[in-house]
Amino acid sequence: MTVATMTDWSRVKPQPNWLARLFDYKPFLVFMCLLPACGLLLVFLTYPLGLGIWLSFTDTKIGSAGKFIGLDNFEYLLEDPQFWGAVFYSVFYTAVATFGKFALGLWLALLLNNHVPFKSLLRAIILLPWIVPTVLSALAFWWLYDPQFSIFSYVAVDVLHIRSKPFDFLSTTWPARWSLIAANIWRGIPFVAISLLAGLQTISPSLYEAALLDGSTAWQRFRFITFPLLLPILAIVMTFSIIFTFTDFQLVYAITRGGPLNSTHLMATLAFQRGISGGELGEGAAIAVAMIPFLVGATLFSYFALARRKWQQGEAND
Amino acid sequence: MTDATAAETPSKATVTPDQMAWESRTRRLVTIYLPLALFVIVLLFPFYWMTITSFKPNAELYDYKKYNPFWIGSPTLSHIKHLLFETAYPRWLMVTMGVAICSTTLSLFSSVLAAYAIQRLRFRGSQYVGLAIYLAYLVPPSILFIPLATTIYQLGLFDSPLALILTYPTFLVPFSTWLLIGYFKSIPYELEECALIDGATRLQILRRITLPLAVPGLISAGIFSFTLSWNEFIYALAFIQSSEKKTVSVAILTELVSGDVYQWGSLMAGSLLGSLPVAIFYSFFVDYYVSSLTGAVKE
């Protein structure tokens, strides 16, 4: 009886309620923390990716559920010259634009790596083409490429008198292709230049000093110091650049919509035209799925060919 | 590598004498400043042209012979007025702004939690989850939009801005998560251990210690997400149908471009106004933006 009435004088520890305790239980906390990100990615990325592959084997149209038709979509595409045209132009567009972007971007990065006044301002200005929505700058290019009022034509014809008639940027096959590539290079230079500049700044100046003492030429310093040390970053930037150039959609859709005569269709714009505008979801999905091998190939190439060279880890060449 | 350099160096290296000051200055001018100026001109010219077009009266716009095309004779606001009062442009701006803000918030929230779990809670297999999220960044929207359109349709979200808010995180979350993992890595773990000893719960640690220290990372991820969702095009084009719910870039291309005669003045004014919010937003945080761009590449 005495025991029952005895009071416990020690301070009562504040017991966290069950909810707080649950959130301090690590497995549950890990699950809760990963839930939003993984949930979003699973529902809107992984599931559609699988669904896309499934759709490419069906004859789904907008408004009617499709049934499984095996490889029919792909067989149809294999005999479709428009599809092969899009494949060709996608590869060509990616190859030429990537080369242009990296050549010019590397040059710009090397220029910016010197001591120049207003460097941070310059860097900010140079990034502008990358910040501004692609479609809006594409519209500006469309206007610059206007058949009648292009400023380039005006300068060439009426100021410099080097041509007798205006440029024909977008109305025939090859000029249209090159014009789009030029716009893509213009938009891609800033990203390449700024990323490579960051890589350049991590190269220790003492290497250059040592090379100078050895009497190296500027080309040798670039070839044997700058380039090898830049290669890891170059590989990553190139992977991204190739992936996003190959799957480009906005520039082409805004400027030519695949014309003239479907000669500037990229695989993405062709997939849109067939899948969404034309309503043939299955066929559009097949075109989109056909992009995957190219993307995997490009990624593996830039990853293994450029990024994983042994000497980068300080080991000998072999 | 150093051996290779040494071997390649010519033995009779000609040591160039110190050049005279004026000579090296002209040399610098030709090899550095001139190309740099050319780059800046080429990169900025489309914007200059966009700006100048949106303030030119139509008479000047289509007559280069009479008026100097590179300057504005009598600036006019008529294109902008037309845009703001005779089209749904303000409405499109609002939609774009709303979508960008909501999807940025959503993806920041989920990537903070995910990055914290991967970097700090260190469960078994956490690096594989990190790698999987990184790989998600390599899946471009162009191969996803067709199946996503059917998914969106099944979920009953077709033609609703909510569809955009929910799908944009697919490319925002992977990027932000990777950026934030890098930032969390740079915060000393000891701080969290101290708090753990003091009896703080994990969520308190995240809120009171890790997050305040990771503010620069949060800002970088936020700006990047905002500009990316402002620039997004293909999902907005595929998922939104009614005119008043379109985002700026889609609306300009599908609503303003009509007929055979393009209203270049208002088109360019629309592009200019659509670019300004991101450009202004960006100019406040250039350094964060550059650091996030380069940080993500280096990760």
Residue B16: predicted pLDDT: 47
A vs B, Cβ pairs < 8 A, gives: 305
Instruction: Identify from B61, B123, B146 which residue to disrupt to test chain A contact, counting A C-beta atoms within 10 A and taking the largest count.
Output: B146
Q: Which of B40, B114, B143 sits opposite A33 (nearest CB)?
A: B114
Q: Which chain A residue shows the shortest CA-CA distance from B284?
A: A124
Using the predicted structure, report yes or no on whether residue B9 has a pLDDT greater than 80: no
Q: Which residues contact A106 (CB under 8 A, 6 or more apart)?
A: A192, A193, A196
CA distance A9 to chain B (A): 23
Average pLDDT, integer, range A75-101: 93
Please indicate whether, in this complex, the C-beta atoms of A133 and B177 are within 8 angstroms of each other. no
CA distance B278 to chain A (A): 7
Share of chain A above pLDDT 90, in %: 34
Q: Which residues contact A16 (CB under 8 A, 6 or more apart)?
A: A24, B201
- The domain spanning residue A195 has which CATH number? 1.10.3720.10
Residue A98: predicted pLDDT: 94
pLDDT tens digits along A2-26: 555 556 666 665 666 777 777 778 8
Residue that wins the pLDDT comparison between A148 and A249: A249
* Residue A253, in any domain of the structure: yes
H runs (alpha helix) in chain A: 2-5, 18-24, 26-41, 47-55, 72-78, 81-112, 119-126, 128-131, 134-144, 151-154, 173-201, 205-213, 218-221, 227-246, 250-255, 267-272, 281-302
CB B33 within 8 A of CB A116: yes
Highest-pLDDT range among A130-139, A151-160, B183-192:
A130-139
The model's confidence at residue B56, banded by pLDDT at 50, 70 and 90, is confident
Average pLDDT, integer, range B272-280: 88
Residue that wins the pLDDT comparison between A48 and B18: A48
Share of chain A above pLDDT 70, in %: 90
Average pLDDT, integer, range A67-86: 89
Please indicate whether, in this complex, the C-beta atoms of A33 and B138 are within 8 angstroms of each other. no
Using the predicted structure, report yes or no on whether residue B178 has a pLDDT greater than 90: no
Please indicate whether, in this complex, the C-beta atoms of B271 and A49 are within 8 angstroms of each other. no
Using the predicted structure, report yes or no on whether residue A77 has a pLDDT greater than 80: yes
Q: How many CB atoms lie under 10 A from the CB of residue B76? A: 17
Please indicate whether, in this complex, the C-beta atoms of B151 and A47 are within 8 angstroms of each other. yes
Please indicate whether, in this complex, the C-beta atoms of B44 and A128 are within 8 angstroms of each other. yes
* Residue A144, in any domain of the structure: yes
Q: How many residues does chain A have?
A: 318
Average pLDDT, integer, range A224-246: 87
Judged by CB atoms within 8 Å, which residues 73-102 of B form the interface with A? none
Domain count, chain A: 1
CA distance B12 to chain A (A): 9
Please indicate whether, in this complex, the C-beta atoms of B275 and A132 are within 8 angstroms of each other. yes
Q: Which of A60, A134, A215 sits opposite B15 (nearest CB)?
A: A215
* Residue A318, in any domain of the structure: no
CA distance A60 to chain B (A): 10
Q: Which CATH architecture has domain B82-298?
A: Orthogonal Bundle (1.10)
The model's confidence at residue B111, banded by pLDDT at 50, 70 and 90, is very high
Domain map of chain B by residue range?
A: 20-76, 82-298
Residue B42: predicted pLDDT: 92
* Residue A211, in any domain of the structure: yes
Residue A159: predicted pLDDT: 81
Instruction: Identify from A15, A18, A44 which residue to disrupt to test chain B contact, counting B C-beta atoms within 10 A and taking the largest count.
Output: A44
CA distance B298 to chain A (A): 7
B117 contacts chain A (CB < 8 A): yes
Using the predicted structure, report yes or no on whether residue A311 has a pLDDT greater than 50: no
* Residue A202, in any domain of the structure: yes
Average pLDDT, integer, range A192-211: 88
Structure tokens at A99: 């080369």
Structure tokens at B67: 């008026």
For A293, the domain range is: 81-310
Residue A7: predicted pLDDT: 61
Amino acid at B216: P
* Residue A298, in any domain of the structure: yes
pTM, rounded to two decimals: 0.85
Residue B104: predicted pLDDT: 95
Mean pLDDT of chain A: 85
pLDDT tens digits along B115-140: 999 888 878 888 888 888 888 888 88
B271 contacts chain A (CB < 8 A): yes
Residue B125: predicted pLDDT: 83
Please indicate whether, in this complex, the C-beta atoms of A27 and B123 are within 8 angstroms of each other. yes
B167 contacts chain A (CB < 8 A): yes
Q: Which chain A residue shows the shortest CA-CA distance from B253?
A: A254
pLDDT tens digits along A267-293: 999 999 998 888 888 999 999 999 999
The model's confidence at residue B185, banded by pLDDT at 50, 70 and 90, is confident
CA distance A241 to A236: 9
CA distance B299 to B294: 9
Share of chain B above pLDDT 90, in %: 26
* Residue B54 CA: distances (Å) to CA of B49, B61, B76, B89, B263: 9, 9, 8, 15, 10
* Residue A316 CA: distances (Å) to CA of A21, A208, A223, B41: 54, 21, 18, 44
Lowest mean pLDDT among A186-200, A208-222, B60-74, B198-212: B60-74
CB B170 within 8 A of CB A41: yes
Please indicate whether, in this complex, the C-beta atoms of B170 and A41 are within 8 angstroms of each other. yes
Using the predicted structure, report yes or no on whether residue B257 has a pLDDT greater than 80: no
The model's confidence at residue B2, banded by pLDDT at 50, 70 and 90, is very low
* Residue A143, in any domain of the structure: yes
B30 contacts chain A (CB < 8 A): no
* Residue A219, in any domain of the structure: yes
Structure tokens at B70: 């590179």
Please indicate whether, in this complex, the C-beta atoms of A198 and B298 are within 8 angstroms of each other. yes
Residue A246: predicted pLDDT: 92
